């Protein structure tokens, strides 16, 4: 049966691939985009675009209200929106720290908190957080980002305990390096260094992340909650 799915940051990169994977499964999909625009790749689909910023609680609440009114109760939420503001810690400004934590960690909590209300009423739901291999492995120059992504593990595991009795699962996907706009900014030397440390010797495709997210949202994953699933070509060796 088709479900109502929300993917934050579903307008590009990994989020777009996740939205496309749910569309292919026949689900009713909504995405957030800060500019409120349907990306060209989703033209011709029934995907609902809602303008929302995960750093703004009122905007998240309004997005859910609209999705519930137009598509019905949200059964699957993928908290994917994220940013980087890399730099060495001694030169990292409070703004760089706050922006990354507020978007990646608190933004995901805001989305999950609003989603939980509807899921508790439905007595089922799937919450998937998009973390990162660096949340568990650490990464020089990414203290803010790694801390935000590690925080998602505690968030998901606490939700798994809080909401498990209502038939709601909460899991984390931890991608390795994926070729998107986020990684396009890395220099060639850094890219070569990264690939040298990945046993599979290549970046992930966005579809390889999306496949794991749809699995965690599907019936086959009904008994998986509080898990961290690495999709990193072996970089973290399962952590
Ligand atoms: P992109 O930079 O390509 O896309 C980021 C997405 O997040 C965009 O859709 C963007 O929306 C959205 N976003 C950012 N800030 C906000 C906000 N305040 N409110 C709402 N949406 C926001 O990144 P990726 O696709 O590569 O990354 C997606 C997720 O995967 C992120 O959480 C990232 O940390 C994680 N990840 C990525 C890896 C990689 O190698 N690429 C590796 C591991 C994890 P907008 O278009 O409006 O800016």
79-101 pLDDT per residue, tens: 999 999 999 999 999 999 999 99
- 227: phi then psi, degrees, rounded to nearest 5: -90, 150
User: According to the model, what pLDDT value does residue 186 have?
Assistant: 87
194 pLDDT higher than 90: no
187 pLDDT higher than 90: no
Q: Exactly one of 145, 174, 203, 233 is catalytic; which is it?
A: 145
Give 137-149 pLDDT, tens digit per residue: 999 999 999 999 9
User: Distance from the CA of 224 to the center of ligand 1, in angstroms?
Assistant: 25
User: Distance from the CA of 13 to the center of ligand 1, in angstroms?
Assistant: 7
Please tell me if the CB atom of residue 186 comes closer than 6 angstroms to any atom of ligand 1.
no
Please tell me if the CB atom of residue 13 comes closer than 6 angstroms to any atom of ligand 1.
yes
Query: Which atom, in ligand 1's list, is nearest to the CA of 209?
Result: 30
Which of 6, 7, 8, 9 best tests ligand 1's pocket when mutated (most atoms within 8 Å of CB)?
9
The protein residue whose alpha carbon is closest to atom 13 in ligand 1 is 81
- Say whether 145 is catalytic: yes
Residues 6+ apart with CB under 8 A from 42: 16, 19, 20, 23, 31, 49
Give 166-178 pLDDT, tens digit per residue: 999 999 999 999 9
Query: Which atom, in ligand 1's list, is nearest to the CA of 104?
Result: 32
Q: How far apart are CA 173 and CA 152, in angstroms?
A: 10
Average pLDDT of every residue of the chain? 97
Neighbours of 164 (CB within 10 A): 13
User: According to the model, what pLDDT value does residue 220 have?
Assistant: 98
User: Distance from the CA of 83 to the center of ligand 1, in angstroms?
Assistant: 6
The full set of domains in the chain, from first to last, is: 4-231 (3.40.50.720)
Report which of 140, 134, 143 is spatially closest to residue 100, judged by C-alpha positions. 143
Size of the chain, expressed as the number of residues it contains? 239
β-pair partners for 172: 129, 228
pLDDT level of residue 238 (50, 70, 90 thresholds) = very high
Please tell me if the CB atom of residue 39 comes closer than 6 angstroms to any atom of ligand 1.
no
Average pLDDT over residues 54-60: 98
Neighbour-count burial for 133-142, b at 16+ CB within 10 Å, e otherwise: bbbbbeeebb
pLDDT level of residue 190 (50, 70, 90 thresholds) = confident
Helix axes 206-217, 13-24, angle to 10 degrees: 50
User: According to the model, what pLDDT value does residue 1 have?
Assistant: 79
Residues 6+ apart with CB under 8 A from 62: 50, 52
Please tell me if the CB atom of residue 118 comes closer than 6 angstroms to any atom of ligand 1.
no
Ramachandran area for residue 78 (φ above 0: left; ψ -120 to 50: alpha; else beta): beta
Report which of 86, 139, 82 is spatially closest to residue 108, judged by C-alpha positions. 82
In 42-198, which ranges are continuous DSSP H helix? 57-70, 94-100, 107-122, 133-137, 143-163, 181-184, 188-197
User: According to the model, what pLDDT value does residue 104 have?
Assistant: 99
The pTM of this model reads 0.98
In this prediction, the answer to ipTM > 0.90 reads yes
């Amino acid at each position: 049966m088709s479900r109502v799915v929300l993917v934050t940051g579903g307008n590009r990169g990994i989020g777009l691939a996740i939205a496309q994977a749910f569309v292919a499964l026949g689900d009713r999909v909504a995405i957030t985009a800060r500019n409120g625009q349907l990306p060209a790749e989703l033209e011709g689909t029934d995907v609902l675009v809602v303008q929302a910023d995960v750093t703004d609680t009122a905007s998240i609440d309004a997005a859910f209200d609209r999705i519930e009114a137009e598509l019905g109760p949200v059964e699957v939420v993928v908290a994917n929106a994220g940013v980087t503001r890399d730099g060495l810690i001694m030169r990292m400004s409070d703004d760089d720290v706050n922006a990354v934590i507020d978007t990646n960690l608190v933004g995901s909590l805001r989305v999950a908190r609003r989603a939980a209300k509807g899921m508790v009423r439905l007595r089922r739901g799937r919450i998937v957080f998009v973390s990162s291999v660096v949340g568990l492995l650490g990464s020089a120059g990414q203290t803010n980002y790694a801390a935000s992504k590690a925080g998602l593990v505690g968030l998901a595991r606490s939700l798994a305990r809080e909401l498990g009795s209502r038939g709601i699962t909460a899991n984390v996907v931890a991608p390795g390096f994926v070729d998107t706009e986020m990684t396009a900014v890395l220099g060639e030397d850094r890219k070569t260094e990264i690939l040298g440390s990945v046993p599979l010797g290549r970046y992930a495709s966005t579809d390889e992340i999306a496949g794991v997210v749809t699995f965690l949202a599907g019936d086959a994953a009904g008994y998986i909650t509080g898990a961290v699933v690495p999709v990193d070509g072996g970089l973290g060796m399962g952590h």
